[in-house]
Structure formats: C-alpha cells, structure tokens
C-alpha cells in the first residue's frame, strides 16, 4: 500500500453495504473510483456503521457481515487496488465514531433535524426510528473530515450532508482555529444520474420495490437482458435524446456510459431502427461492461483469507492516517492524550 504523497491530492469516498450496487451506482460513481486512483491518493471505505441505522441490518447481523465482505470484494473487482489505495471497513477504524461524538457537540439540533433523508426514512420506519438514523449525518461529517482529504465525490442527494459537514467544520474551526480541513466536492462526468428502468423520473435504486427497475452489478446476463428489454420507453419508436423521452434518454445515457458513444453517434446508429434493436444493443453493452467485474468478483469471494487480510491492512492504514486529525481535535477540545502503556 503506497503512503500518501505531498504532490498528489487525496480523494475520499465511502459506500454502504446495504446490498449489491446497481448499474446506476457503478456508472455514476464506482466506475470513477478506480479511474481517479491514477491521479489521486484514494481512501475508500465500506460504511457499515451507517447500515445499522435502519432495522433491516440492525436485526440481521449475518446479512450485514456477508454484505460487507461482498462489497469489499466487489470494490477490488472493479479495479481498486488495495495495495495502492487505502480500502477499509468503517467499523474497523474506531476514529470515525470517536470524532463523530465530538462533532455531535458542535452540531445544532435544528440543522440536524432539517436533513431531508431523515424525514423520508423516519416516515418509512415509523416507531422503529433510532437516534442513529437522526444522527448519521454527523457520522458522515466525521467520515468526510477525519482524513483531511482534498476532494469527496458527491451526488445531488448528498449535497445537504456535505453542507452540514461544512457548517460543523466552520463552527469548530471558528472556535479553535484551522484544525479541520473541508474537502471540495468532486463532481463526476457523464452518468452522474442513471434512472429507474420502470420510472425514469426516479433515480435507479437497489431499494426499489420493483426488481425490474434496476440492474444489479451481479445480475446474470439473461436477467440483465430481460430487465433492459422491459424498460419503459414511449410510443414514438425513435431513438433520440430530447425532452419528454425520459425512458429513451435514460437508455441512451446507459449505452453512452458503456460504449463511450455520444448521443449523436447513438442516434445515427439506430436511425430507422426500432426500440427492440436499441434495447438489445443496450443490454449487450451492459453485459459486456459488467462481465469482467463479475468474473473477478467470483474469483475474489472464494478467497476469504485474502479479503480479510486486505481489510486488516486497510484498517491499519486508515486508523494511522485518521488518528492525526483526531489527535489534533482532542488536544484542542481539552482532552488528555491517550495513555501509553
């Protein structure tokens, strides 16, 4: 594992192990994780602490453990080299939770209560809402601030959380000086938002009640083809990108991300052809894109010892790096340094 260098900027990103990532997750974010490691020192984590904020995983520890290992293997399979990047599991790096508690005391109740995702999820879970669900944006702020990273990739649905992290950072630094470093957002290029195959006005999500609405990164080719062929389009039978053709626009975005073709090139390729030909081509392009990742995943998931060894080394590196920020914070707040045996 290469140490961070002075000349390269640092990128940080975490993903929850709440299920196999979708094609939308891959094309919108994960595809870039491996790519940016050529230009940045990258710190990537499986955010398992966040997963227990909801009953699904809080009450099913075996599933959470399996999901964590599966996701860790999948991240390596899509090209993230654990020898060149820091790749860790969040619960194995205690500094995240330690900083989160401190930052809780510098977060106003009102700003935390305005988080829209808490409102949405609390409505879904009713009486089974935990304090952790309310508080997880502060843990996310700790995730963002603990490494002193330069950039953090975000989507539109995470903008509010990044703003909260910035508010907390500014408040803390306003009291103690420039202790915490707020990273800049790193906005991805094409494929920033891949939509549901059944409702193209919504983002593709693995939590969708309709399994035809999303493609999982580990779906078999025949399943992928069926889902793409059942995707919502329209009655015009014309492959072109314009307002009002949300289903076709979504499929064109997927095809563009998988093939590198522009909308103009796609329109020319399918001029005079129907949606059947178009959907077949999109499905085949998706299968071709995911096949090498799936193959590498199948190899990795059978080698648990290798994966757990990578986890241990990643956790050690992440703890060592994040401890620098935590130690500064604790000193400024007035805590005694950890006792030495």
Q: Give the pLDDT score at 23.
A: 96
Interval 180-239: pLDDT, tens: 999 988 765 544 589 999 999 999 999 899 999 999 999 999 999 999 999 999 999 899
The CA distances from residue 67 to 21, 63, 329, in Å, are: 11, 6, 33
Residue 25 structure tokens: 């997750």
Distance in angstroms (rounded) separating the CA atoms of residues 73 and 120 = 31
Domains of the chain, by residue range, sit at: 10-191+304-333, 211-297
How many CA atoms within 13 Å lie on the side-chain side of 205? 10
DSSP code of 212? G
Distance in angstroms (rounded) separating the CA atoms of residues 1 and 8 = 15
Q: Give the pLDDT score at 5.
A: 46
Class of domain 10-191+304-333: alpha beta
Q: Give the pLDDT score at 193.
A: 81
Supply the residues annotated as catalytic. Answer: 121, 203, 206
**Backbone dihedral region of 118: left (phi > 0), alpha (psi from -120 to 50 degrees) or beta?**
alpha
Residue position matching structure tokens 């227990």: 52
Segments in 41-156 forming alpha helices (H): 48-51, 55-58, 61-77, 95-104, 109-113, 116-125, 131-145
The segments of the chain whose pLDDT lies below 50 read 3-5, 190-191
Q: Do domains 10-191+304-333 and 211-297 have the same CATH topology?
A: no
- Superfamily grouping for domain 211-297: Tyrosyl-Transfer RNA Synthetase (1.10.240.10)
Q: Find the helix packing angle between 275-301 and 61-77, rounded to 10°.
A: 110
How many other C-beta atoms lie within 10 A of the C-beta of residue 253? 23
Handedness of CA 202, 18, 192, 73 (dihedral sign): negative
Interval 158-172: pLDDT, tens: 778 889 999 999 999
Distance in angstroms (rounded) separating the CA atoms of residues 230 and 252 = 15
């Amino acid at each position: 594992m290469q140490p961070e260098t002075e000349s390269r900027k640092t990128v940080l990103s975490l993903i929850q192990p709440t299920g196999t990532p979708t094609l939308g997750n891959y094309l919108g974010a994960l595809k870039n994780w491996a790519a940016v490691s050529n230009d940045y020192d990258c710190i990537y984590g499986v955010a398992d602490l966040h997963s227990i904020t909801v009953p699904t995983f809080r009450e099913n520890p075996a599933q959470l453990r399996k999901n964590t290992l599966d996701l860790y293997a999948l991240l390596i399979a899509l090209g993230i080299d654990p020898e060149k990047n820091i790749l860790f599991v969040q619960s194995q790096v205690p500094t995240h939770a330690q900083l989160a508690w401190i930052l809780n005391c510098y977060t106003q109740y009102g700003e935390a209560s305005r988080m829209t995702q808490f409102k949405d999820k609390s409505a879904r879970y009713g009486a089974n809402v935990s304090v952790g669900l309310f508080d997880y944006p502060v843990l996310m702020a700790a995730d963002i601030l603990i490494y002193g990273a330069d950039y953090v990739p975000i989507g539109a649905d995470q903008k509010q959380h990044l703003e909260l992290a910035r508010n907390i950072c500014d408040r803390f630094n306003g009291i103690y000086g420039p202790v915490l470093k707020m990273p800049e957002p790193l906005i991805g290029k094409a494929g920033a938002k891949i939509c549901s195959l059944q409702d193209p006005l919504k983002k593709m999500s693995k939590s969708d009640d309709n399994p035809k609405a999303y493609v999982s990164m580990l779906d078999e080719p025949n399943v992928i083809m069926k889902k793409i062929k059942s995707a919502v389009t329209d009655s015009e039978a014309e492959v072109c990108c314009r307002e009002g053709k949300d289903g076709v626009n979504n499929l064109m975005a997927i095809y563009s991300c998988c093939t590198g073709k522009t909308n103009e090139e796609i329109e020319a390729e399918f001029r005079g052809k129907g949606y059947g030909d178009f959907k077949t081509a999109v499905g085949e392009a998706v299968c071709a894109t995911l096949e090498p990742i799936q193959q590498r995943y199948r190899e990795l998931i059978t080698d648990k010892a290798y994966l757990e060894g990578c986890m241990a080394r990643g956790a050690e590196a992440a703890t060592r790096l994040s401890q620098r920020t935590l130690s500064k914070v604790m000193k400024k707040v007035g805590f005694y340094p950890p006792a030495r045996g």
